[in-house]
Amino acid sequence: MAERYFTVTWDQLHRDAKALAWRLHERQKWQGIVAITRGGLIPAAIIARELECRLIETVSIVTYDEESRGEPVVTKPPVAAGDGEGWLIIDDLVDTGTTAKVVRGLLPKAHFATVYAKAAGKPVVDTFITEVSQDTWILFPWDTEPQFVAPLARKG
């Protein structure tokens, strides 16, 4: 278990994702967005709306089992994004950078942006909004009710 927890509300996530969109809008017009599932889906939707970007691709990488990290496995590559030229990669958080490095390998020319960043993962991304200490576990609004609740699929 993490030493600290940081609870993010829906309102805060929306404000932070919109702030990220402001920064990204200043850079260029993006060809498309690659959302890293699952955490990047909601921030990517907010950012896509703000940037009026209609071309959305996903990349699925399994790294976590609850709060335990394992080896990353690409379960769905971002085929439509090619090498990433002109594309924006969006995730909710960069933690150790493990997932980000895998995605960077798949899309070396893309711009990588996250809403939240921890110190170990910061060097792997190009743009982020809020830094969080490495020993903090972020509780995103889709994970809480306000406490952790197991996904419905796990409840017999």
Structure confidence by residue, pLDDT tens digits, 123-142: 999 999 999 999 999 999 99
Q: Which residue has the higher pLDDT, 132 or 149?
A: 132
pLDDT tens, residue by residue, 94-109: 999 999 999 999 999 9
Average pLDDT over the chain, rounded to an integer: 92
What confidence tier does 88 reach under pLDDT thresholds 50, 70, 90? very high
For residue 36, what are the β-bridge partners? Answer: 59
Please compute the mean of the pLDDT values over residues 82-89 and round it to a whole number.
97
Residue 131, Cβ neighbours under 10 Å: how many?
11
User: Would you state the pLDDT for residue 152?
Assistant: 86
- Classify domain 4-143 by CATH architecture: 3-Layer(aba) Sandwich (3.40)
User: Would you state the pLDDT for residue 150?
Assistant: 84
Residue 84 has pLDDT above 70, yes or no: yes
Range of lowest pLDDT (20-24, 82-86, 98-102, 152-156):
152-156
User: Would you state the pLDDT for residue 145?
Assistant: 80
Alpha-carbon distance 15 to 28, whole Å? Answer: 21
User: Would you state the pLDDT for residue 69?
Assistant: 67
Alpha-carbon distance 32 to 111, whole Å? Answer: 11
Active site amino acids:
91-92, 95
User: Would you state the pLDDT for residue 154?
Assistant: 86
pLDDT tens, residue by residue, 54-81: 999 999 998 766 666 678 999 999 999 9
Domain ranges for the chain: 4-143
In this structure, what DSSP letter does residue 145 have? Answer: S
**Helical packing angle, 10-25 and 41-51, nearest 10°:** 50
